[in-house]
A and B are shown apart, each in its own frame.
Chain A
Amino acid sequence: MPPVSAMVSPSDRALRCRHRRAGALLFVFAVAGALPGARHAAAQVVHPAVSATLTQRDSDRILPTLTAQAAAEAGDGSPHAAPLPASALTTEDFRRMLPRTDMRSDADANAHPHPHAFLDNGAATSFDAAPIAKNPLAPDAIAIGATSCIACHALENLQASHSLHVRAFRAGAAGTGAAAACESCHGPGSAHARDPTKPGSIIAFTRDAVTPIDAQTGVCLACHEGGARQDWMGSVHQQHELACTDCHNPMARLSAEGALADHSINEVCSTCHQDIRDKFNRRSHMPLPEGQMSCVDCHNPHGTLTADLIKTDTVNGTCYACHAEKRGPFLFEHAPVRESCLTCHDPHGSNQEALLTLPVPMLCQQCHTMTGHPNDLLTTAGLATGPAPDERLIGRACLTCHANIHGSNNPSGSRFHK
């Protein structure tokens, strides 16, 4: 472990920035806090004696106000020396807490908002500097540290220990000493610890949370902004009020990777997009049911610059990533091919050969009248079983001759049959 003094080297610049960000975040929460909290009346099953107590005592219920002064007063004869309130943790306390040091309280966080600069210690990770999320619904709450959290949430702790998210936090804590863990995301825990069921006393990320979705998202983005998530704002999933935790669950390792809320990307997406999942059951499909591909191979669910969450500048750009031979450009181009693969193919699956949206030749006959052979109505008489077999209908139909339909590089290939 590096000496504590080495960890504490906040630059003024960084400090300013952190405050600015914290301010922005605070704004989100402040706004969120103005909302009336969701108050669903829930029939609570409580022992009769308990509920009697509840009714009787609800009115005179007081939140304990523990202040430093109160804490400083003498104990009730217990030999334990110098009881400390949570707000006065010292660096020594953190040292003592190692190796269970995946915690940090407000005192430390406030004193050293940026306790670690990357260049100071090559061994440390980005997680060391994770701040404690602000919870406007419990503005007076203070951090109590992960050790306190996992006292009750022991099993959650064990399950989360297998998730990348928590492992990373642990490593951050081990590398540089005390760092925030639970409270980095859930906000300071003292209010929740005292009154654990009070909605909003902690930032929750589940259906029961009273914290608004965009505030929940804000917590995650506080660290995960940018990169693949740079276009989250205004993306279709953001507009449909999806929260990060609709697709991710950082509290357990449910998936091989990606901290997903289900066992694989495809399962996560098909929670809502069942119609698309069904298309992959069709005769021709991309190898998603076979586990070779995922929705996220083509789409970035976090938002992109291109419609339908396509990752590249165009739909075709994404297709070319695997079908590079169709990128060309060719000497002779087929206009709708260059324009969009979707003119003829449904990438999710189709009842025709090769993901085509209609059987050939009907597919082609939607655009090609011309004169001569393209415009005839081909009937059952032209099947191989019919009285007048017709190559425009049998097997690969049009593509038997116009095989280079995606474009030809042959000087005699303007009609794609060379």
Chain B
Amino acid sequence: MRKLLVPSLAVAIAAAFVGTRAWADSTDSARVGDIQYGNALDPTGWAPLLWADPRGFSWLHAGMMRTPSGVLYPYPPRREDAGSPLYKNSDWVYSGFLQLGYLHVGGDTQAEFLRQYAGWRDGLAPGLFALYADDPKTGQYLEFRGSRLSGDDQYYRLRSGQYGVYKVEAFYRDIPHHVTTSAYPLWNGVGSTDLTLPAPLMPGGSTPPEVAAVEKTRPRQTVGATRRREGLGLEAKLYRDWSGYISIVNEKRTGNGLWGGPMYLNYILEDNGGALETVRPIDFTTTDVSMGLRDAGTVWQFQLNYTGSFFRDHEDQLNFQSPFALRNVAGVPQVANIHQGQFSLEPDNDSHNLRAELSRSLKWNGQLSLATAWGTMRQNDPLLPPVTCTGTGGVFISPSADYTFNCANWNTGAALSRQTAGARIDTGLLDAKLTLRPTSRLGWHAGVRWYREDNKTNYLAFNPLTGQYGYIAENGSQGSIIPGQIGIFDPRNPLFASYVTQVRAIPFGYSDTVFDTGVDWRLGENNTLNLTYSFDRNQPKYRERKRVNEQRIKLAWVDRAIGKGTLRVDYEFAYRNGGPYNYNPYELFYSTALPGFVTPPLGNVAFTTDAMRKYDLANRVEHKFHATLIYPIGATATISAIVYATRDDYAAAIGRQATRNRGFDLSWDWQPSPMTSMNANLGRDDSSLDFSNVGDNENVTGGPGRGDPSLGGPLFPLANQWQGIDHERDYNAGLTLRHDFGRVRADFSYTYTYALGRIGYAFASAGALPITQQPFAGDVGNGFPDNHYHINTLQLGFDIAFSRMLGLRVFDVFETGSFADWHYLGLQGNLVIDHRIYTDLGPQPHYSANLIGVLLNVKL
């Protein structure tokens, strides 16, 4: 706590010198989450109240003012000029609005893209209930806003307080996330921790045709989760410039998600292994506590924030049954029936973060800011045993080649070196920043930032029962198919004394130091230039590089001389390099580092190729260009345009090599009067990504040269190199039109989205392909079929006013989409492919849906 003493003291001293300041909005834009309350029916959460006041903004002039950048402000919305008194002779006045009516969804109501984040449901829906009341004499106010589409898509938020004195906030909301609406899980118990096979399927005892037959009878399900959040917050002015806040938010997330289930590779072993797409439960509770103290003084500003987050996963595991039998590729027939799989799901975790930030105004319109933060993320969940099997697993060839393991030695906690995870990462942040603006023509700033993640996790995969290191791979399946590939190292047993396996957790961490400095020049009254240089030194731990430096120069130009608009142009150049690249920095955590490890005569198989440069650490040259133009046309229209391009080149023979991105957006806004507004926009984005990889020569992994990591060596021959190219193109267009005819107001919108994606490839020879695909090398062409995502949405709505108080909204949204993704190609009616079981058919190839709403608007 000594860390806190100095700033606290400084604060106390500072507090004695400061005057009263207004404070407001002290947490909102600084807090993560729950800023926005809306839904698919009304993303703004305010739409029915946005029709413009026909009177406009001023009796003195027509039209609206423009923002300093040149964009027209929208006309102010139509409101009653004065609120009604809450009751007779009350000082409180209120205004309220209720939109209530009936929604109906027709067509492909279960289309994934229609429901992704929207809980559409037929029935009565309060589209918006908004109430605002305040007492103009005391400044006390109360505000409520709520909307409900369905039980898993709704929000209610209440705010109350006194302007500038205190604010209490309470909310409740449900946010749906539908991951897929066409899931056909094979198992019973979806949503629970135990997936069991439906009769008549037998774990480890069914054939693919039998499984396929059962799969065809499984009902369609939706996979996804709902986030139910409730929160309570209080902010209050404490003394003079000091304010404090505290908030507690609780989230309950329930549902399920698509998951996996490995029983070893199937592609290479026909009628063997298993790759199962399962469904996992989601049953999380997260409690977030946030509190802080702020001083917004004239000279000194200070804030001290604490955030605590407490995550609880009520389901810590997923158990699943595989219907398929495994067959060992050598030795006497299968000795164990490995058909039970298990996953550890995310552990409970606690996190704390304490941050203090102190700023002082300086001469020359300057500011000095110092910040420090300390955080920790911890979890100490009980560890599950390495396997759940019983009996003997592995492969028996002969008494001298006994590659079996006794499940009993691995299926209890006694097989572990420790019973709980004891995982912990501490973080630290120091930040100092100095800004000076001695004249309005010149500004200068400089800053240093240091951040560290210190991973204190220390886990040794050692089984005290057997004296062996390592783990049982893939639920025991790998070692029960391939002799010896259990995943364990045993210095006392020559069969396992040369086995390379991970035996320790790798405590990845890093420290990152950034220095940056920049100048702003004002050239004349309409031009500003800004030049910033930064140097970022990242020092990752246990990664391929111990040091990565990135230098970056940013040039920004703001011009206000063009028309009455603004042009902002940015160019960035960055160069990244670093220390030597070690293609295998993980030795320390593998059995090869343990005493007793016997290096085989031919050496260990190379961990990977030394030509690999992982793109987060590779040398890189980056250029970025971005220009934004806001250009007013007359008094009622604005054109805005952006053009951008980015290119990254990585120095990598193997790995990501280059990315390119360029695009533009053009938008036209027109508001000739409060009664009419229109927007049209058009955009296109193109991107590409090139990467390269090399297939290992599987014939060499057991022979001479297996230790050679070089590209072009025997293990990674150039003949096996291949190239992947991703091309993506996105088109976006939109048109919105609103017109107020007086008693009837009409709104129309159309949005168009078309995204294309193509993975292309090129290969030196068929050797780049897996053995199973090599025979077809001549037929595979140069890429996958195009993926696409194509959505058209048309909306037409009418608001009809009956009286000052009462109106009706009638609207229709028609959406049609088409979709293709080769991941799902051929799965329709074919979810079981040999020992592979799939659950998700993917988004619908075509859908069209219609939403119609008839809602009463009542002014309260």
Contacts and interface: CB of A to CB of B under 8 A. Distances in A.
Judged by CB atoms under 8 Å, the answer to whether A and B touch is: yes
Interface hub of A293, A351, A382 (most chain B Cβ within 10 A) = A351
Given A152-B60, A254-B73, A411-B461, A274 B640 contact: yes
Contacts of B34: 297
Given A243-B67, A292-B38, A324-B311, 6 more contacts: A126-B23, A153-B58, A224-B25, A275-B683, A329-B378, A393-B822
A292 B117 contact: yes
B586 to A, nearest CB: 10
Contact of B471 (A162, A168, A395, A414): A414
7 closest A-B pairs by beta carbon, nearest first, are A291-B38, A171-B139, A226-B296, A291-B43, A403-B260, A384-B826, A401-B262
Contacts of A21: 19, 298-299
Interface in B292-332: 294-299, 301-303, 309, 311, 313
Nearest to B40: A290
Contacts of A288: 43
Contact of A159 (B76, B237, B540): B76
Interface hub of B32, B487, B540 (most chain A Cβ within 10 A) = B32
Contact of B606 (A125, A247, A357, A371): A371
A43 interface: no
B23 A226 contact: yes
B394 interface: no
A358 B21 CA distance: 50
A376 interface: yes
A223 B237 CA distance: 14
Given A114-B20, A125-B163, A404 B298 contact: no
A22 to B, nearest CB: 9
Interface stretch (A47-55, A76-84, A277-285): A277-285
A378 B768 CA distance: 9
B726 A362 contact: yes
Given A125-B163, A272-B628, A371-B606, A329 B455 contact: yes
B824 A395 contact: yes
Contact of B640 (A40, A164, A271, A381): A271
A385 B32 contact: no
B665 to A, nearest CB: 4
Interface in A320-346: 320-322, 324-333, 335-336, 338-340, 343
13 contacts: A20-B298, A171-B138, A172-B163, A252-B77, A264-B38, A300-B29, A314-B453, A335-B506, A335-B542, A372-B698, A372-B701, A377-B695, A400-B276
A36 B781 CA distance: 66
Contacts of A368: 608
B20 A118 contact: yes
Interface in B661-696: 663, 665, 667, 681, 683, 685, 689, 691, 693-696
A243 B630 CA distance: 15
A213 B294 CA distance: 27
Contacts of B606: 371
A332 to B, nearest CB: 6
Nearest to A163: B76
A155 to B, nearest CB: 5
Interface stretch (B99-107, B801-809, B831-839, B848-856): B831-839
Interface hub of B40, B542, B773 (most chain A Cβ within 10 A) = B773
A175 B22 CA distance: 15
B294 A125 contact: no
Given A227-B30, A339-B508, A261 B79 contact: no
A95 B772 CA distance: 92
A228 B387 contact: no
Given A174-B139, A278-B730, A401-B275, A313 B373 contact: yes
A282 B377 CA distance: 33
A154 interface: yes
A215 to B, nearest CB: 8
Interface in B757-777: 757, 759, 761, 763, 768-770, 772-773, 775-777
B385 A411 contact: yes
Contacts of B139: 125, 127, 167-168, 171-172, 174-175
Given A27-B365, A372-B696, A410-B384, A329 B23 contact: no
B87 interface: no
B383 interface: yes
Contacts of B784: 379-380, 383
Given A14-B20, A384-B825, A400-B262, A161 B67 contact: no
Interface string B340-367: 0011101101010101010101000101
Given A168-B139, A256-B145, A412-B487, A206 B165 contact: no
Chain B's interface size range is: 35 or more
Contacts of A294: 35-36
A120 to B, nearest CB: 11
Contacts of A152: 59-60
A384 B833 contact: yes
B603 to A, nearest CB: 13
A377 B722 contact: yes
B69 A388 contact: no
Contacts of A230: 301, 303, 357, 359, 369
Given A263-B44, A282-B755, A35 B377 contact: no
A209 interface: yes
A205 interface: yes
B696 A155 contact: no
B437 A214 contact: yes
Interface hub of A14, A28, A324, A370 (most chain B Cβ within 10 A) = A324
A175 B137 contact: yes
A155 B163 contact: no
B13 interface: no
Contact of B44 (A272, A291, A312): A291
A256 B47 CA distance: 9
A131 to B, nearest CB: 10
Given A31-B440, A205-B68, A329-B457, A324 B309 contact: yes
A90 interface: no
Contacts of A415: 473, 502
Nearest to A242: B69
A213 B68 contact: yes
Contact of B715 (A321, A333, A371): A371
Contacts of A188: none
B267 interface: yes
A13 interface: yes
B440 A212 contact: yes
B421 interface: yes
A287 interface: yes
A226 B275 contact: no
B778 to A, nearest CB: 10
Contacts of A243: 67-69
B57 A159 contact: yes
Nearest to A22: B298
Given A17-B299, A125-B165, A126-B20, A167 B134 contact: yes
Contact of B239 (A118, A158, A242, A340): A118
Contacts of B532: 239
A391 B36 contact: no
Interface in A149-195: 152-156, 158-159, 161-162, 164, 167-168, 170-172, 174-175
Contacts of A406: 346
Contacts of B757: 351-352, 359
A234 interface: yes
Interface hub of B145, B425, B473, B780 (most chain A Cβ within 10 A) = B780
Contacts of A291: 36-40, 42-45
B46 A418 contact: no
Nearest to A316: B453
